[in-house]
């Protein structure tokens, strides 16, 4: 077995295990907090962020793309939590332009630091 196929197999096993845990956690939290079914699906966004971390770990060549996927999953989760908590949907969408600015500032900082 080559190193690449072993890493793909490990990523596949880790991903399958992760998503089994995500589904079990989703149902457990949803059943125990039945009043918050409308919020518990955020667990899937957090699972997608964890999947991005796994991809970065097992596929270093796509780490930057994986980190960006994790970043946007977390931004979406924060948006949903704040929006449902405040019911200020007309204002909370501003989280996305702020997230874009933060992402670009971070990229600029890392590019500047690497020079």
CA distance 71 to 77: 10
pLDDT of residue 39: 74
Domain ranges of the chain: 3-113
Nearest to 82, CA basis, from 96, 61, 71: 96
How much is the pLDDT for 99?
93
What b/e readout covers 91-103, taking b as 16+ CB neighbours within 10 angstroms? ebeebeeebeeee
pLDDT score at 85: 86
Of 24, 30, 25, 22, nearest to 48 (Cα)?
A: 22
Average pLDDT per run of 10 along the chain, which is 115 residues long?
Answer: 73 84 86 76 84 79 76 87 87 91 85 76
How confident is the model at residue 80, as a pLDDT? 87
The pLDDT value given to residue 1: 59
Half-sphere exposure of 71 (CA within 13 A, CB side): 17
Number of neighbours of residue 49 by Cβ within 10 angstroms? 20
pTM above 0.75?
no
The H or E element spanning position 101 is: helix 95-113
């Amino acid at each position: 077995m080559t190193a690449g196929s072993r890493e793909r197999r490990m990523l596949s096993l880790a991903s399958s295990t992760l998503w089994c845990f995500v589904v079990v956690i989703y149902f457990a939290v949803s059943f125990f907090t039945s009043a918050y079914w409308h919020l518990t699906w955020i667990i899937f966004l957090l699972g997608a962020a964890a999947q991005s971390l796994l991809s970065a770990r097992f596929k270093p060549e796509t780490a930057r793309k994986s980190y960006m996927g994790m970043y946007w999953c977390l931004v979406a989760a924060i948006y949903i939590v704040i929006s449902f908590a405040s019911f200020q949907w007309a204002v909370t969408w501003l989280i996305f332009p702020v997230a874009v600015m933060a992402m670009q500032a971070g990229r600029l900082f890392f590019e500047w630091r690497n020079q």
